[in-house]
Amino acid sequence: MRFRRLKFIKRFVPKTLFARSLLILVIPVLLIQIVSTSMFFDRHWSKMTSRLAFSVVGEISVLADYIEKNEEDDRAINALVSLYDDKLDLLVDFKRGETLTDQPVPVWVGWEYMIGESLMREMSGMFKTPFTVDVDFQEKWVEIRVQLTQGVLYVSLPQRRMFTSSSYIFLIWVFIISFVFLVISVLFMRNQVRPIRRLAIAAERFGKGRDVSDFKLEGAREVRQAGQAFLDMRTRIQRQISQRMEMLAGVSHDLRTPLTRMKLQLAMLKETPDIQAMKRDVADMEKMVQGYLNFVRGEGDEAMVLTNLSLLLQDVVDSTRRDGGDISLELDGTDIELPLKPLAFKRCLVNLLGNAVKYAPRTWISLSQEEDRIMLVIEDNGIGIPQEQYEDVFKPFYRVDSSRNSETGGVGLGLPIAMDIVHGHGGKIWLEKSRHGGLRVNIRLPK
Ligand code: ADP
């Protein structure tokens, strides 16, 4: 149960480090704001309001007392009333002979409630006769009526006598300042997260076999440590790869000389079936050695240039057709142009098409473009590859089964080279079963 709830919460937790750190920063600040604001309202504000109410009601009761004691002396009452108006900001009117009618129970919300309630409390403590309190926060005005022996005392006071905006402004300032600091810390935090993101991108690029030479160490100590570990790992892997490549290159190169010698010696011998078989073997070996050398050399240094892929594909298809391949080509109306390493990409196409015509009687190719990518699909109706080996055939020197390859003479490098080249272009290559029965090779390239 607990576990399920955790999972539920996890769904709403942001995924990126930046968003998570932001949340860690914002939530405490918000909580502090809410707690301190509510405490402020509860303690400070209500105390302030009740003190203000106490003083206003006190002034009213002094006046009421005076009126009760000098009932007949209108002049004295009027003099005091105008004094209240001038000095105390209270508008007073005494209406002799009136009685207070019943007022509906007022409905106050928010500020009105706070002011009204404290006035009611103070009034009921001070007066035993009926009274009413009216608060209109919109109009910024409060009205109090009190029943005296001879009539009704009307007192109107401006809202400022009951309400101080300084506390209000204080709160606004607290929010503004916290917001400003929050923005500043977000900016700083972004700088902290950026190096981690760069490291992740560099690791991803390296994993795809791309160039990461522009990766720089930056950020906090731990991030730098991780970056340094990544760089060390990269150097180690590159060294291992280059050692193996050098060895393969050396072996292949050294084998070429004795092979050429054998070829010459065989050419001088009489043509018997045995000699013919040996010649075929030597030719196969030469092809393999050439294949190893091509693989080792790679086409990594070639520059990207804007290339017409439709033309390039047409070219490769034409030359494969000349060698006897039965290919149907479907091109997307307009020419497709994109930055490519033309030689490398041609080699990739030659490998894939070569395989298709080698292992199948018929091949279908289609090139199409979508909004942000280009799709190249090569399908055939041959024997295909068992599905569980779709990944393995991209490993160098991997061959599906030796019996079917004995006459094709490949070395298991065609697909790995093709994959390297596609990855080198930021694309993706994967295998599927073709609707024609054989293999379907999909290539997706970014535009
Ligand atoms: P090779 O040089 O042996 O052709 P690849 O790397 O190009 O090496 O291919 C690896 C293996 O995948 C091959 O040995 C072959 O058995 C199989 N293969 C490749 N393409 C096809 C295809 N179109 N149809 C059937 N099998 C294929």
Tell whether ligand 1 has an atom less than 6 A from the beta carbon of residue 385.
yes
Q: How far is CA 98 from the centre of its chain?
A: 73
Token output for 339: 């930055």
Closest C-alpha to ligand 1, atom 24: 384
Longest CA span, the chain: 155
- Best residue among 353, 380, 387, 415 to mutate for probing ligand 1's pocket (most ligand atoms within 8 Å of CB) is 415
Regions in the chain scoring below 70 on pLDDT: 1-4, 165, 207-210, 298-302, 402-410
The bridge status of strand 363-369 relative to strand 151-158 is unpaired
* Gap from CA of 296 to ligand 1 centroid (Å): 19
* Gap from CA of 155 to ligand 1 centroid (Å): 101
CB 23 within 8 A of CB 12: no
Q: How far is CA 288 from the centre of its chain?
A: 48
Closest C-alpha to ligand 1, atom 14: 399
CA dihedral 358, 340, 297, 424 (to 10 degrees): -90
Q: How far is CA 201 from the centre of its chain?
A: 13
DSSP of 119-176, one letter per residue? HHHHHHHH-SS-EEEEEETTTTEEEEEEE-SSEEEEEEEEGGGT--HHHHHHHHHHHH
The Cα 390–Cα 89 span in angstroms is 91
Tell whether ligand 1 has an atom less than 6 A from the beta carbon of residue 90.
no
Tell whether ligand 1 has an atom less than 6 A from the beta carbon of residue 384.
yes
pLDDT in the model for residue 404: 56
pLDDT in the model for residue 405: 53
Contacts made by residues 131-136, CB under 8 angstroms, sequence distance 24+: 131/100, 132/100, 132/103, 133/106, 134/103, 134/106, 135/106, 135/108, 136/112
| CB atoms inside a 10 Å sphere around CB 80 | 17
pLDDT in the model for residue 301: 59
The Cα 114–Cα 108 span in angstroms is 8
CA atoms within 13 A on the CB side of 335: 9
pLDDT in the model for residue 343: 84
* Gap from CA of 286 to ligand 1 centroid (Å): 19
- Best residue among 327, 348, 350, 385 to mutate for probing ligand 1's pocket (most ligand atoms within 8 Å of CB) is 385
* Gap from CA of 288 to ligand 1 centroid (Å): 14
Burial class (CB in 10 A: 0-12, 13-18, 19+), 428: middle
pLDDT in the model for residue 408: 54
Tell whether ligand 1 has an atom less than 6 A from the beta carbon of residue 439.
yes
| Secondary structure E strands in 44-90 | none
What confidence tens digit (pLDDT) does each residue in 129-186 have?
889 888 887 778 888 999 988 889 999 988 888 877 677 787 788 889 988 988 998 8
Closest C-alpha to ligand 1, atom 16: 400
pTM for this model (two decimals):
0.52
